A and B are shown apart, each in its own frame.
Chain A
Amino acid sequence: MKLAYWMYAGPAHIGTLRIATSFRDIHAIMHAPLGDDYFNVMRSMLERKRDFTPVTASVVDRHVLARGSQEKVIHNIHRKDKEENPSLILLTPTCTSSILQEDLQNFVNRASQDCNADVILADVNHYRVNEMQAADKTLEQIIRFYIQKAKKDNSLKLDKTPLPSVNLIGPCNLSFHHQHDLAELRRLLQDLNISINEIIPEGASVNNIQNLSKAWVNIVPYREIGRGAADFLFQEFNIPYTTISPIGVVETSRFIRQLEQLIVQQGYPCDFTKYIEIQTRFVSQSAWFSRSIDCQNLAGKTAVVFGDATHAAALTKILVKEMGVEVLLAGTYCKGEEEWFKEEVGNYTKQLLFTDDHHLVGDLIAKLEPSAIFGTQMERHIGKRLNIPCGVISAPVHIQNFPLSYRPFMGYEGSNQIADLIYNSFTLGMEDHLLELFGGHDTKDIIATSLSLGNSIEWDENANEELRKIPGFVRGKVKRNVEKFAKTNRLKKITIEVMYAAKQQESSNL
Chain B
Amino acid sequence: MSIQSPELNSPLSFECETGNYHTFCPISCVSWLYQKIEDSFFLVIGTKTCGYFLQNALGVMIFAEPRYAMAELEEADISAHLSDYVELKRLCQVIQKDRNPSVIFWIGTCTTEIIKMDLEGIAPKLEAELGIPIIVARANGLDYAFTQGEDTVLASLAQSCHPRIEKLSSSLDEKNSNPQLILFGSIPDPIVKDLSFELEQYGIKIGGWLPGKRYTQLPQLAEGDFVCGIHPYLSRTATTLMRRRKCRLIGAPFPIGPDGTKAWIEKICSVLNYPTPGLNEKEAKVWEQLQALITPLNSKSVFFMGDNLLEISLARFLIKCGMVVYEIGIPYLDKRYQAAELSLLEKTCAEKGQFVPVIVEKPDNYNQIDRIKDLQPDLVITGMANANPLEARGLRTKWSVEFTFAQIHGFQNAHTILELIGRPLRHMPKFDDFNQMEYATIR
- Output the nearest chain B residue to A63 by Cβ-Cβ distance: B142
Interface residue ranges of B23-59 to A (CB < 8 Å): 23-26, 45, 47-49, 51-53, 55-57, 59
Chain-B contact segment, one of A3-11, A270-278, A290-298, A427-435: A3-11
Question: Is residue A406 within 8 Å, beta carbon to beta carbon, of the partner chain?
Answer: no
CA distance A2 to B115 in the complex (A): 17
Question: Is residue A237 within 8 Å, beta carbon to beta carbon, of the partner chain?
Answer: no
CB distance from A218 to the nearest CB of B (A): 28
CA distance A398 to B91 in the complex (A): 30
**Residues of chain B within 8 A of A37, CB atoms compared:** 22, 385
Chain-A contact segment, one of B66-74, B162-170, B204-212, B234-242: B66-74
**Residues of chain B within 8 A of A500, CB atoms compared:** 194, 197, 412
Q: Is the CB of B51 within 8 A of A34?
A: no
Q: Is the CB of A35 within 8 A of B194?
A: no
CA distance A99 to B130 in the complex (A): 31
Which one of B52, B69, B73 contacts A14 once the chains associate, using CB atoms below 8 Å?
A: B52
Q: Which of A45, A83, A96 has the most CB of B within 10 A?
A: A96
- Output the nearest chain B residue to A53 by Cβ-Cβ distance: B385
Q: Which of B24, B56, B289, B383 has the most CB of A within 10 A?
A: B56
**Residues of chain B within 8 A of A60, CB atoms compared:** 110, 142
Q: Is the CB of A3 within 8 A of B70?
A: yes
Question: Is residue A496 within 8 Å, beta carbon to beta carbon, of the partner chain?
Answer: yes
Question: Is residue B63 within 8 Å, beta carbon to beta carbon, of the partner chain?
Answer: yes
Question: Is residue A33 within 8 Å, beta carbon to beta carbon, of the partner chain?
Answer: yes
- Output the nearest chain B residue to A381 by Cβ-Cβ distance: B63
Chain-B contact segment, one of A241-249, A261-269, A300-308, A501-509: A501-509
Q: Is the CB of A50 within 8 A of B439?
A: yes
**Residues of chain B within 8 A of A56, CB atoms compared:** 20, 366
**Residues of chain A within 8 A of B77, CB atoms compared:** 1
Q: Is the CB of B145 within 8 A of A65?
A: no
CB distance from A507 to the nearest CB of B (A): 5
Q: Is the CB of A45 within 8 A of B48?
A: no
**Residues of chain A within 8 A of B197, CB atoms compared:** 500
Which one of B47, B56, B74, B193 contacts A38 once the chains associate, using CB atoms below 8 Å?
A: B56
Question: Is residue A288 within 8 Å, beta carbon to beta carbon, of the partner chain?
Answer: no
**Residues of chain B within 8 A of A62, CB atoms compared:** 142-143
CA distance A130 to B49 in the complex (A): 10
Q: A44 with B49: in contact, given A1-B77, A127-B74, A507-B289 (CB under 8 Å)?
A: no
CA distance A274 to B225 in the complex (A): 87
Question: Is residue B140 within 8 Å, beta carbon to beta carbon, of the partner chain?
Answer: yes
Q: Is the CB of A59 within 8 A of B143?
A: no
**Residues of chain A within 8 A of B114, CB atoms compared:** 65, 96, 99-100
CA distance A4 to B95 in the complex (A): 11
Question: Is residue A48 within 8 Å, beta carbon to beta carbon, of the partner chain?
Answer: yes
**Cβ proximity bits B409-443 to A, threshold 8 Å, 1 near / 0 not:** 00010010001000000000000000000011100
Question: Is residue A57 within 8 Å, beta carbon to beta carbon, of the partner chain?
Answer: yes
Q: Is the CB of B78 within 8 A of A1?
A: no
**Residues of chain A within 8 A of B369, CB atoms compared:** 52
CB distance from A344 to the nearest CB of B (A): 28
- Output the nearest chain B residue to A398 by Cβ-Cβ distance: B59
**Residues of chain B within 8 A of A32, CB atoms compared:** 141
Question: Is residue A479 within 8 Å, beta carbon to beta carbon, of the partner chain?
Answer: no
Question: Is residue B16 within 8 Å, beta carbon to beta carbon, of the partner chain?
Answer: no
- Output the nearest chain B residue to A94 by Cβ-Cβ distance: B49
Question: Is residue A152 within 8 Å, beta carbon to beta carbon, of the partner chain?
Answer: no
Interface residue ranges of A55-103 to B (CB < 8 Å): 56-57, 59-62, 65, 83, 94-96, 99-100
Which one of A2, A35, A53, A508 contacts B71 once the chains associate, using CB atoms below 8 Å?
A: A2
Question: Is residue B284 within 8 Å, beta carbon to beta carbon, of the partner chain?
Answer: no
Question: Is residue B384 within 8 Å, beta carbon to beta carbon, of the partner chain?
Answer: yes
CB distance from B389 to the nearest CB of A (A): 5
Q: Is the CB of A469 within 8 A of B55?
A: no
- Output the nearest chain B residue to A503 by Cβ-Cβ distance: B412
CA distance A332 to B190 in the complex (A): 44
Q: Is the CB of B110 within 8 A of A33?
A: yes
- Output the nearest chain B residue to A97 by Cβ-Cβ distance: B114
Which one of A41, A65, A466 contacts B384 once the chains associate, using CB atoms below 8 Å?
A: A41
Q: Is the CB of B47 within 8 A of A35?
A: no
**Residues of chain B within 8 A of A42, CB atoms compared:** 56
CA distance A479 to B273 in the complex (A): 39
**Residues of chain B within 8 A of A2, CB atoms compared:** 70-72, 74
Q: Is the CB of A13 within 8 A of B59?
A: no
Question: Is residue B3 within 8 Å, beta carbon to beta carbon, of the partner chain?
Answer: no
CB distance from B386 to the nearest CB of A (A): 7
- Output the nearest chain A residue to B90 by Cβ-Cβ distance: A1
Residues on A facing B (Cβ under 8 Å): 1-7, 10-11, 13-14, 32-38, 40-42, 44-45, 48-53, 56-57, 59-62, 65, 83, 94-96, 99-100, 126-128, 130, 378, 381, 384, 398, 466, 469, 496, 500, 503-504, 507-508, 510
- What would be 28 A-B contacts, judged by CB atoms less than 8 Å apart? A6-B51, A7-B52, A11-B47, A14-B52, A35-B24, A35-B53, A35-B145, A38-B24, A38-B57, A41-B385, A44-B385, A45-B384, A48-B388, A50-B439, A50-B440, A50-B441, A51-B389, A60-B142, A61-B19, A61-B142, A65-B114, A95-B49, A95-B110, A99-B114, A127-B74, A384-B63, A398-B59, A507-B412
Extra inter-chain contacts (4) besides given A38-B57, A41-B57, A510-B289, CB under 8 Å: A6-B62, A14-B52, A36-B49, A510-B419
